[in-house]
Amino acid sequence: MLRFAPSPTGDMHIGNLRLAILNYLISQQRNESFLVRIEDTDTKRNIEGKDTEIMQILEKFALPHESVFHQSEHLHMHQTLAIKLLEEGKAFVCTCTAEQLTTDRDNAKANKMAYRYSGQCFDVNKEEHANLKESGIPFVIRLKKPTEDIINHDLIKGDIKTAPNEVDSFVILRADGTPTYNFACACDDMLSGVDFIVRGEDHLSNTPKQKHIKTQLGYDAETTYAHLPIILNTDGEKMSKRDAASSVKWMFVEGFVPDAIINYLLLLGNSKAPKEIFTLPEAIEWFNIENISKSAAKFDIDKLRFINRKHLEMMDDKQLSTLFGFADADIGKLAKIYLEEVSTTKELEAKIRPIFSPKDFSGEWGEQMTIMAKIIAEAPMMKEFDEFKSYIMKESGLKGENFFKPLRYLLTGVGNGPELSEVYPLIKSYLLEVAS
Ligand code: GLU
Ligand code: ZN
C-alpha cells in the first residue's frame, strides 16, 4: 500500500506533487493500492478549501486513488493506541511543566549539547494516569526511547543508524489529547498497511521515531522508505513558497500541461532515465526510484519549457484546440505551427487570439484591408491558398507589399508569423469571422 499524505496548509508545491506522482507510480509498479490521507491534525495551520484543491490537482494529473480520508477522523484511534502503549508500560505519563522543559532546553543549549528529555517521569505508572485525569493536572504521554539503534535502509539516502538517545522519549499525545505528527502518521501508516513511503528528506529525522512507534505497537511488517532530496531554485536555494514557480497553480496559469509537468518532475535528479520525453504510463515500465540522486536537484524552467513544447506537439490536434475554446483538429494543427516559436499554452493563446479577434482597420494598411474584407465577404469558399490569393489579387487589383502586408494583418491580426499558405487552409472555415 502506498499513500500521499499532504497537509492542507497552503497551495500545493511542486515538491509535493512530485511525491504524489512517485507514490502513485510505485503503487502501479507494485500492483498495490494508492490512498490519500489529508494530514489535518495541526488544526492551526489548516487552510479551508486546500483539501479540495489538492484532490482537484490529483484529478487533473490523472493520479487516481483507492480511498481518501482526513487524519483527524482517526483521533479516537490515535488516543486508544497511545493508552494501549501506556498500559503496556511502553509509554509513560509526563507532568513536566512547560517551564521545566524550557529550562532543560536552555541548559542543554548553554552547554552546547543536544536537548534530551530528562527522564524524570519515566516511572510514572498507569494508575497515576487515572489519578491525574481526575485531578485535572495537565500531562502528556511520551513513548519510552528504544533500547537499541534504529536502522533505516533508505532507498535513496542509504543506511542510516539512529541511537536510542537521539530518538529520545518523545511526546506522542499532547496535553489536549491530540496526537503529535509522528504518532498520527505512524499509527495511520500502520492501520492502512502502508509498506512503501516516498517522502521529502525533511522527514528523515522523523523516520526512526515512526519506526519505533510501529514496533512498539507490535507491527512487524517492514516499511521501505525513500527520502527525496529537496528541489533548489535557480539561485541554488531551497525552493520555497516565495518562488512563484514552486506552486502547481502557477504552472497551470503559465500554460504548462499536466503530462509535461509529470515528465519534468520524474526527470529531476534522475540522470539514468532511458529517455527524455515520456508519459506516466511509459515511466511506470522503467522508472527506478533508486536512480534518483541523493543530492538536491535544481529547478530548470528552460528544461520544463522544452518538455512542455514536446508534449504539446504530441497532443491530439482536436484535444489541443479545446485549450483555446475550439473542438476542431484544424485549430490544433494551427497551434502546432506556432509551437515553433513558443512553448506554453498561454503563449500559444497569445498567438491564436489575434487571428479570431476583430481586426484594426485604422492602421497603415487599413484601406487595403477594407477592400479585401469586402471581397472575402462575397467570395466563394476556396480550398487552396493559391486559388484564394489569385482571386483576391484579381478582384482588388492590389499586388506586392500592398497585397501581402494587409492580407497578413487581415488574416492573423499581426505583421509577421508563419507562411500564410500554411495558415490559410486551417482557418478557411472561419474566414468571415477572421477577416472582419
Ligand atoms: N504531511 C506531511 C508533509 O506534507 C507528509 C508526511 C509523510 O509523507 O510522511 O510533509
Ligand atoms: Zn516528565
Residue ranges making up the domain that contains 85: 76-173
Q: Do residues 246 and 240 lie in contact, with contact meaning Cβ atoms separated by under 8 Å?
A: yes
The C-alpha cell 513558443 sits at 342
In a domain, residue 134? The reply is yes
Q: Is there an atom of ligand 1 within 6 Å of 15 CB? A: no
What is the Cα–Cα distance from 302 to 298, expressed in whole angstroms? 12
| Phi then psi dihedrals of residue 136, to 5 deg | 80, 5
199 lines ligand 1 (CB under 6 A): yes
Non-local (6+) Cβ contacts of 197 within 8 A are 2, 3, 23, 189, 223, 224, 225, 226
Tell me the C-alpha distance between 320 and 312, whole Å. 7
Q: Tell me how far the alpha carbon of residue 94 lies from the centroid of ligand 2, in angstroms.
A: 4
Instruction: Judge whether 12 lies within some domain.
Output: yes
Q: Which ligand lies nearest the alpha carbon of 98?
A: 2
Q: Which of 203, 205, 227 to mutate to test the pocket of ligand 1 (most atoms within 8 A of CB)?
A: 203
Domain harbouring 52, CATH code: 3.40.50.620
Residue 42 lies in a domain: yes
User: Does residue 301 lie in a domain region?
Assistant: yes
Q: Are residues 420 and 361 in the same domain?
A: yes
Q: Does some domain include residue 105?
A: yes
pLDDT, one tens digit per residue, over 307-322 is 999 999 999 999 999 9
Domain boundary, last residue among 173, 190, 211: 173
| Residue 159 sits in the same domain as residue 236 | no
271 phi, psi to nearest 5 deg: -75, -10
Q: What is the pLDDT of residue 136?
A: 85
Q: Which residues of the chain have pLDDT under 50?
A: none
**Same domain, residue pair 97 and 49:** no
Q: Is the CB of 194 under 6 A from ligand 1?
A: no
Q: Is residue 130 part of a domain?
A: yes
Per-residue model confidence (pLDDT) at position 234: 87
Residues of the chain with pLDDT > 70, as a percent, come to: 100
Instruction: In whole angstroms, give the CA distance from residue 93 to residue 124.
Output: 6
Predicted local distance difference test score (pLDDT) of residue 184: 98
Amino acid residing at 123 = D
Q: Is residue 350 part of a domain?
A: no
Q: Which ligand is nearest to the CA of 225?
A: 1
User: Which burial class, exposed, middle or buried, applies to 55 when counting CB atoms under 10 A from its CB (0-12, 13-18, 19+)?
Assistant: middle
Same domain, 83 and 107: yes
Nearest residue to 215 (alpha-carbon basis) of 187, 174, 194, 184: 187
Q: Which residues contact 339 (CB under 8 A, 6 or more apart)?
A: 309, 312, 313, 348
Whether residue 185 has its Cβ less than 6 Å from ligand 1 = yes
Amino acid identity, position 63: L
Residue 244 has a pLDDT of 84
> 59 and 72 in contact (C-beta within 8 Å)?
no
Torsion (CA) 83, 86, 87, 88 in degrees, nearest 10 = 120
Query: Are 43 and 86 found together in one domain?
Result: no
Question: Interior CA angle at 188 toward 182 and 192, to 5°?
Answer: 150
Of 138, 173, 208, which residue is a domain's last?
173
Query: Which ligand has the shortest distance to the CA of 124?
Result: 2
What CATH number should be reported for the domain holding residue 135?
3.90.800.10
The closest of 325, 347, 252 to 14, measured between CA atoms, is 252
Is residue 36 a part of any domain in this protein? Answer: yes
233 CA to centre of ligand 1 in angstroms: 21
Q: Is 70 in the pocket of ligand 1 (CB under 6 A)?
A: no
Distance, in Å, from the CA atom of 269 to the CA atom of 266, rounded to the nearest integer, reads: 8
Instruction: Tell me what pLDDT residue 127 has.
Output: 75
pLDDT for 404: 96
Q: What is the pLDDT of residues 49-102, one digit of tens each?
A: 999 999 999 999 999 999 999 999 999 999 999 999 999 999 999 999 888 899
Count: domains in the chain = 3
**Residue 429 sits in the same domain as residue 388:** yes
Q: Which of 281, 314, 347 is the last residue of a domain?
A: 314
pLDDT of residue 291: 96
Same domain, yes or no: 56 and 133? no
Say yes or no: CB of residue 7 within 6 Å of ligand 1.
yes
Name residue, grid cell 497585397. 403
Contact of 140 with 79, CB cutoff 8 Å:
no
Please tell me whether residues 166 and 84 are part of one structural domain: yes
3-state SS string for the chain: CEEECCCCCCCCEHHHHHHHHHHHHHHHHCCCCEEEEECCCCCCCCCCCHHHHHHHHHHHCCCCCCEEEEHHHHHHHHHHHHHHHHHCCCEEEECCCHHHHHHHHHHHHHCCCCCCCCCCCCCCCHHHHHHHHHHCCCCEEEECCCCCCEEEEECCCEEEEECHHHHCCCEEECCCCCECHHHHHHHHHHHHCCCEEEEEHHHCCHHHHHHHHHHHCCCCCCCEEEEECCEECCCCCECCCCCHHHEHHHHHHCCCCHHHHHHHHHHCCCCCCCCCCCCHHHHHHHCCHHHCCCCCEECCHHHHHHHHHHHHHHCCHHHHHHCCCCCCHHHHHHHHHHCCCCCCHHHHHHHHHHHHCCCCCCCCCHHHHHHHHHHHHHCCCCCCHHHHHHHHHHHHCCCCHHHHHHHHHHHHCCCCCCCHHHHHHHHHHHHHHHCC
In testing the pocket of ligand 1, which one of 4, 9, 22, 39 has its CB within 8 Å of the most ligand atoms?
A: 39
